[in-house]
Amino acid sequence: MRLWGRTDPNAELVWYAEAWARKIQFNTPVETVRALARQRHINPMVTVAIRSDGSVESVTFVVSSGVPAIDEAIRRIVQEQDHFQAFPPGLASEYDVVEIRRTWYFDDAVRLY
Nearest to 93 by CA among 7, 9, 13: 13
Distance separating alpha carbons of residues 106 and 32, to the nearest angstrom? 10
pLDDT single digits (tens) 86-99: 999 999 999 999 99
Average pLDDT, the chain: 90
Instruction: Give DSSP secondary structure letters for 47-96.
Output: EEEEETTS-EEEEEEEE--S-HHHHHHHHHHHHHT-SPPPPPHHHHHH-S
pLDDT of residue 113: 85
Question: If you average pLDDT over residues 91-108, what whole number do you get?
Answer: 91
pLDDT single digits (tens) 43-61: 999 999 999 999 999 999 9
CA distances from 53 to 2, 50, 102 (A): 17, 8, 21
User: What is the dotted CATH code of the domain comprising 2-112?
Assistant: 3.30.1150
